[in-house]
Amino acid sequence: MAINLEVPKKHRALIDQAHQVAMNMLRPISRKYDIAEHEYPKELDILAAMIDGLEESGASEGAGAAGVRRDGIADDKTVKNGSNMASVTSISEMCWGDVGLMLSFPRQGLGNSAIASVANDEQLERSKGKWASMAITEPAFGSDSAAVSTTAVLDGDEYVINGEKIFVTSGERSDCVVVWATLDKSLGRAAIKSFVVEKGTPGMNVERLEEKLGIRASDTAVITFTDCRVPKENLMGSPEVNVEQGFAGAMATFDNTRPLVAAMAIGCAQASLDLTRELLQQAGVEIDYDKPAYLQSAAAAKFLQLEADWEGARLLTLQAAWMADNRKPNSLEASMAKAKAGRVGSDVTLSCVELCSSIGYSESELLEKWSRDSKILDIFEGTQQIQQLIVARRILGLSSAELK
């Protein structure tokens, strides 16, 4: 099966719409909500209504975090550009506008992507129209998701959840939270499952909101669970603990969400490159694509190198999304895309600040903001170092126990 990494024709209208929204609705309020951290961007309600209308009409083609899903059966004779490709291309455009605001979109949280990835049809129907955040990280661990200590104990027809989660994106604003908890700590990774916990459930409490370096328009919460009872049907995936399968069930979520985060980094970096190109041209720096970099000014040569790195990250991300749409295992490619795009996003945005000197460092333009926003995209959903570790394990054929 051949892969063509040109933008699919059927998605171009959707991408154009996303770009218009980013330019005309997100950019104008970007600085406002960066300064007013924790204030809910009411303008997003209008956009959410527009997205709902597109989804009902079928025009959205599965764009957004909630659209990510692996449907159908693999077919080596046909090529499909489906919801994953629509999601990464449209999300990239929205993050060209503002990453924090995109993360604040109602019903488009990372928890929605997790539900779309692993929920059964009945759970999908129950979650329809809800805004879901995702709670994995705890005070005792960050990168090692297998170290989850939040517990879920079956009691009759309910699971009783106890524990504390930190860095929950949209933790206060969302309607429900996808919580990772262990059914039995002694059984290790295999016992870790994800649960949908509705807001307002007794025992669940948003303790505080974090003040952050970037994506300040997005709320990031600390949430505690104290004897929090949820219906057993809110466990996503199989309730059985399969030691043979290990952590694969829960980790499958990341195969779909990591390309989304890579797409966020690509969009933010593209915004920086676009503006930097304009500012360099205004300063008289010529960027000539027909000349070798070493025959151009240092600024132009640096810019060409940044663009080349950015293009590599973009193509890796499209590949990971395409593989998901075509029912191909993409754990390696998802981690490669996330690692490359996360690193490139930080490098590009910070380098653009340097290239534009005082303009880049001041608040007269959004370059300094984009450099702050991009850093988290190299960290959440699996840090740069963890992605490199996953890639090494996949290439070398080693388990997590064999390569730490």
Annotated catalytic residues are 381
Contacts of residue 339, Cβ cutoff 8 Å, sequence gap at least 6: 384, 387, 388, 391
| Distance from C-alpha of 189 to C-alpha of 187, rounded to nearest angstrom | 7
Show the tokens assigned to 292.
Answer: 């070798």
| Distance from C-alpha of 223 to C-alpha of 206, rounded to nearest angstrom | 4
Show the tokens assigned to 221.
Answer: 């919460």
Among candidates 94, 81, 77, which has minimal Cα distance to 27? 94
Q: Are 114 and 351 in contact (CB under 8 A)?
A: no
Residue 331, amino acid: S
> What Cα–Cα distance (Å) separates residue 118 from each residue in 157, 249, 329?
21, 8, 15
Q: Are 282 and 289 in contact (CB under 8 A)?
A: no
Contacts of residue 239, Cβ cutoff 8 Å, sequence gap at least 6: 183, 193, 232
Among candidates 355, 359, 379, which has minimal Cα distance to 369? 359
Say how many Å lie between the first and final Cα of the chain, rounded.
34
Contacts of residue 33, Cβ cutoff 8 Å, sequence gap at least 6: 39, 41, 98, 100, 101, 216, 217
| Cα angle 399, 402, 403; round to 5 | 90
Residue 273 C-beta-side C-alpha neighbours within 13 Å: 24
| Distance from C-alpha of 152 to C-alpha of 289, rounded to nearest angstrom | 57
Helix (H, G, I), strand (E, B) or coil at 180: strand
Show the tokens assigned to 77.
Answer: 């004779």
Dihedral angle of Cα 336, 342, 343, 348, to the nearest 10 degrees:
130
| Distance from C-alpha of 364 to C-alpha of 225, rounded to nearest angstrom | 43
Show the tokens assigned to 87.
Answer: 């999601």
